[in-house]
Amino acid sequence: MSATESGSPVVLECEGIERSFGGLKALKGVSFAVRQGEIFGLVGPNGSGKTTMINVVTGFYPPQAGRVHLFGQDITGMRPYRIAQQAVARTFQNLALFRGMSVLDNILLGRHVHMRPSALASLCYWVWAAREETAHRRIVEEIIDFMQLQGIRDEPIESIPPGLQKSVELARALASEPKFLILDEPMAGMNQEEKEYLARYILDARDERGVSILLIEHHMDVVTSLCDQVLVLSYGEAIAQGPAREAISSPAVVEAYLGHRAAQRAGAIA
């Protein structure tokens, strides 16, 4: 039974979100809800407003109209660092890892939201700070085992293939112990084997770690295999919403991706 069918609590609710940049309306009254235990897909052609929507949710772009609720709390206009403290983690469309650091150290950076530095703790390092560091490293090592990254844990991040770097970025997000995870095109540039590898860990994060997920993705095979519900955007407007296969196969979505004439031909063939 899916999260939607079970009536699970709503984790994220966006109501009538609007956002403009000069004369360009990037989002036009977009509304949707993500339920606990759900993988919710946000898809659409390039320039449809997907990343803008994510930036609104995470506080980088406050909406000019509409409200955002997270775990029942109104977070509209809240600063990004405060939203991150609400058990929210995010990966980015372009890799945002730190070159010159090891895989282990990059993942350890995911613990920053749980670190509480103080002068007193530093002075008493061997009593307090060392104990906290050990606890953080224990959690990171558990994530490394979960993602099966043991063989590259000490490698410099720039020395491993881009597909594995995407896995490290997911591992870093999971290291923050999120309840809600936002993945912005996590499989961009991956081959089929790498996509299947990462898809398995996304499902495991949901099933084994109880993480609710908002997924932006261009690969429709990934969307239909992973997502419970999908919202399709085009020019900042919602043109379809519902179960993944139904939403993606709707005539409005086919037209948005292929154009009017191609959509007519597809309809004639069907």
Q: What is the pLDDT of residues 169-187, one digit of tens each?
A: 999 999 999 999 999 999 8
- 248-257: average pLDDT: 86
CA distance 80 to 117: 20
- 239-255: average pLDDT: 90
CA distance 24 to 147: 41
What's the predicted TM-score (pTM) here?
0.85
- For the chain, the average pLDDT equals 86
Tokens of 23: 């004369």
120-165 pLDDT tens trace: 555 555 555 567 777 888 899 999 999 999 999 999 999 998 888 9
SS3 of residue 182 by DSSP: strand
204-209, Cβ contacts within 8 angstroms, sequence gap of 24 or more: 204/146, 205/170, 205/174, 205/181, 206/37, 206/39, 208/146, 209/146, 209/174
DSSP state, residue 161: -
Tokens of 64: 């000019």
User: How much is the pLDDT for 6?
Assistant: 53
User: How much is the pLDDT for 96?
Assistant: 76
Which domains are seen in the chain, by residue range? 1-87+180-244 (3.40.50.300), 101-177 (no CATH)
57-111 pLDDT tens trace: 999 999 999 999 999 999 999 999 999 999 999 998 777 788 889 999 999 988 8
SS3 of residue 173 by DSSP: helix
Helices (H), ranges, 92-191: 103-108, 119-123, 129-146, 162-175
Encoded amino acid at 266, one letter: A
Of the candidates 55, 58, 62, which has an alpha carbon nearest to the alpha carbon of residue 77? 62
